[in-house]
Structures are given as structure tokens and as C-alpha cells.
């Protein structure tokens, strides 16, 4: 959900997403969908949405970076709305907490390492737009 939020936001602000990667380790599934290479890996932790390298405005960076946590927060809000209609409160509660945790952890300004490369977190990308002359590239 998180990475899909990034991809949809990238398209919305005129960027060209090239990859949506879910997980790490061995590749289980690969397919190109609407010009975006979808890669699903064995270990479902971490993920990455990659856009074509081009000059990005601060606005594009903020929208792109905020969209992942916003997707998680949106799913958490949906769970609150449907909560009264389901009996599986433990399951819904676990999904709710997981979505909030993903959103908040990604807003912490730090670098993530993925397959030997370092990437700024969503929070670091957003913060860099307000604190520097040149923001970090996603």
C-alpha cells in the first residue's frame, strides 16, 4: 500500500515511476504494469518506489514522499470506519497498528539501506525540502 501510494503520487505530479519493489531477498514475481516494473520479493519487509531520474521540484518531492505515509494513514482511517461492521477486531486492530507504525517510521528523517544503496526516508526527503538549497534525491 505504501509504495503504491508513492507510485500513484508520482504519476499525479508528472513524474515517471519505473519500479515498485516490495520486499527483499529472492524475487518471487516480476511483471511490468502500465510502464512500472513490479517486483515482489520473498521477505516482505521494506520496499521502494523508484522514479526516473530527472529534476524534481520541491513540490513534487514533498507530494511523492508524503504519499507513502498518507496511503498508510488512509488505510488506518478506513479501518476505523469499517470497525463497527466486523467481528474480527483483533485482526483489524493489528492491521491498524501496523499501518500507523509504517507511516510514522517512514516519517523519521533517516537513511534506509536497500540492496547496498542508501535512500533517504520519506521524512528526510520532506525535511530536506525545507532545510536546504538542494533537497536529497529520492
H helix count then E strand count, the chain = 4, 4
Look-up: residue for cell 530527472? Answer: 54
Domain boundaries, the chain: 2-131
Span 74-124, pLDDT tens digits: 999 999 999 989 888 898 999 999 999 999 999 999 998 877 889 899 999
> What pLDDT is recorded for position 133?
63
Query: DSSP assignment, residue 118?
Result: E
* C-alpha–C-alpha distance, residues 103 and 98, integer Å: 9
Q: Which helix (H) or strand (E) holds 100?
A: helix 89-107
pTM for this structure? 0.85
Q: How far out from the chain centre does Cα 15 lie?
A: 15
* C-alpha–C-alpha distance, residues 97 and 27, integer Å: 28
Q: Which residue has the higher pLDDT, 53 or 63?
A: 63
Amino acid at each position: 500500500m505504501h509504495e503504491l501510494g508513492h507510485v500513484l503520487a508520482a504519476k499525479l505530479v508528472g513524474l515517471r515511476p519505473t519500479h515498485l519493489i516490495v520486499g527483499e531477498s529472492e524475487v518471487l514475481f516480476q511483471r511490468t504494469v502500465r510502464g512500472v516494473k513490479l517486483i515482489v520479493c520473498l521477505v516482505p519487509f521494506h520496499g521502494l518506489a523508484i522514479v526516473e531520474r530527472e529534476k524534481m521540484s520541491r513540490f513534487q518531492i514533498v507530494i511523492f514522499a508524503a504519499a507513502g505515509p498518507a496511503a498508510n494513514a488512509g488505510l488506518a482511517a478506513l479501518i476505523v470506519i469499517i470497525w463497527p461492521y466486523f467481528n474480527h477486531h483483533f485482526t483489524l486492530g493489528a492491521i491498524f497498528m501496523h499501518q500507523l507504525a509504517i507511516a510514522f517510521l517512514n516519517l523519521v528523517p533517516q537513511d534506509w539501506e536497500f540492496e547496498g544503496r542508501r535512500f533517504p526516508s520519506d521524512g528526510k526527503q520532506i525535511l530536506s525540502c525545507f532545510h536546504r538549497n538542494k533537497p536529497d534525491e529520492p
